[in-house]
Amino acid sequence: MTTLTAQDLDKTYTLRSGLRFSQLRAVKGVSFELRPGRTVALVGQSGSGKSTIAKLLMQLERPTSGSLLLDGKPIGRRGKALADYRHQVQMVFQDPFASLNPYHSIGHHLVRPLIVHGRATSRTAPGAAKELLDRVNLPADDAFMARRPHELSGGQRQRVAIARALAPGPTVLVADEPVSMLDVSVRLGVLNLLARLQREEELAMLYITHDLATARHFSDEILVMYRGEVVERGDADEVILNPQQEFTRKLLAAAPEPGTNQRFLAEARRRGVPMPDHLAPQEDLA
């Protein structure tokens, strides 16, 4: 089992407008720890720095300062060391259509990472890919493997993306708003799937979202971000039911349809969606 630690992460971008340069500090001294079997939710409005954090964790961007530690050791930044890190840490992106290559089959999307990460050979990879499809509740047959992303629904595409993220055998999963672009009717199923996989695999998970209802009921700890900083953190129930910061209270009050959260959570409980023990059951958000 692997623990991923972020220590005082900073990210500053240099912006150019004509002959003028300016700096944007997108992330300011953010620290947290992702431990096996636990989910940390990163919550905030658009532009708060949530997705920048995800890019830093995935080494798609390098921090201006601060460090990432994998089981207490600094991560490698190139070659085999970086490849080993990406073997351990995988990401589910927000847009399931943009994250899948429309020119390749579903089978290709799963077979390739299995082979690249040494999880299967060219002979055994198709069978291993079908096992991944079965784990995310999709048809595990040749017909489905031969389909292209545009032939699937949004929920099916996101399940394929989750299966692809699982292919290298990661111990840490970063989910960047994994249901925000899906129909409301299928969001619960995808969240239920992520919760089940985390429980079965003992994954350490970072769940990035702007939805406070799902942050409360699908995570153990919540970090609230505002303008690149973590302004509040703590136990998921405590942050939602007893917010200490004005921005957190505004974020809660800004929910456009409070009744939607109540209906969503009631449906989650009715369908037996797994939740951390300390959260279930609780009264719904008002």
What pLDDT was estimated at residue 278? 39
For the residues 66-74, what does the mean pLDDT come to? 92
Helix-helix angle 258-270:184-201, to 10 degrees:
50
- Domains defined for the chain, CATH in brackets: 4-9+25-102+171-270 (3.40.50.300)
Q: Is residue 154 left, alpha or beta, with left meaning phi > 0 and alpha meaning psi from -120 to 50? A: alpha
DSSP 108-124: HHHHHHHHHTTSS-TTT
Name the band, by pLDDT with cuts 50, 70 and 90, for residue 168. very high
For the residues 104-120, what does the mean pLDDT come to? 95
- The percentage of the chain sitting over the pLDDT mark of 90, rounded to a whole number, equals 62
This prediction's pTM: 0.84
Lowest mean pLDDT among 6-10, 125-129, 278-282: 278-282
Residue with tokens 């394929």, as numbered in its chain? 160
pLDDT exceeds 70 at position 96:
yes
For 225, residues 6+ apart whose C-beta sits below 8 A from its C-beta are 30, 42, 43, 44, 48, 49, 50, 53, 231
For the residues 142-148, what does the mean pLDDT come to? 96
What pLDDT was estimated at residue 257? 47
pLDDT exceeds 80 at position 286:
no
What pLDDT was estimated at residue 133? 97
Name the band, by pLDDT with cuts 50, 70 and 90, for residue 91. very high
What pLDDT was estimated at residue 233? 94
pLDDT tens digit sequence for 174-230:
999 998 888 888 888 999 999 999 999 999 999 999 888 788 888 999 999 999 999
What pLDDT was estimated at residue 46? 86
Residue with tokens 């990460």, as numbered in its chain? 117
pLDDT tens digit sequence for 223-281:
999 999 999 999 998 988 888 888 888 888 775 544 445 555 555 556 555 444 433 44
Q: How far apart are CA 215 and CA 78, in angstroms?
A: 34
Average pLDDT over all residues of the chain: 86
Half-sphere exposure of 114 (CA within 13 A, CB side): 21
Higher pLDDT, 5 or 47: 5
What's the token pair of residue 69? 């530690």
What pLDDT was estimated at residue 232? 93
Q: Where are the alpha helices (DSSP H) in 17-124?
A: 50-57, 79-88, 106-116
